[in-house]
Amino acid sequence: MENPTNSWLWELPCIEFLMSHMFFTTFHSCAYGGKRLKSTSFFTNNPVFLVLCLQCDGQHEHLPWGTDMETQQFPTALEAEYPKRLCEDYATILLDLGQSQGLQITPYPKAGDKMHPLKQHARRSLPPLVPEYAKVFPCSSPTSPI
């Protein structure tokens, strides 16, 4: 589970109970190459993810959080994407964890294949790696939703 470190989600009674039995890791996005000081937390059932706890060393500048007057965009939208280094570190942990559990890891397709790193594909061009739903049950209602 992921959310901003200061999120009220972490204070829900059901989450507080789980947190006493699982692992909570907090990192600053800028420590992984992000442009703003943004504290994010992961909640996991495996302590191997605790290595992601990188904090800002204060040795670099941060972009401000106010509204971008040129684009009229909020910085939170610009910072929604994880920094590349964080993604790489997370993927390495997952690969190591999978291999330690005896899972067969299929290498990522090479350049020229249908998939390309760092490029979002149209929904229909490739099937999802993990289906969004296990089953879909169509149903109808005698009334329209409000």
Residue ranges per structural domain of the chain? 2-100
> Which string of b and e fits 51-70 if b means at least 16 CB within 10 Å?
ebebebeeeeeeeeeeeeee
pLDDT per residue over 52-66, tens digit each? 999 999 898 888 777
pLDDT at residue number 128: 64
50 with 25: CB under 8 angstroms? yes
pTM of the model: 0.66
pLDDT tier for residue 89 given thresholds of 50, 70 and 90: very high
67 with 73: CB under 8 angstroms? yes
What does the alpha-carbon distance between residue 45 and residue 21 come to, in Å, rounded to a whole number?
Answer: 8
Q: What is the mean pLDDT of the chain?
A: 80
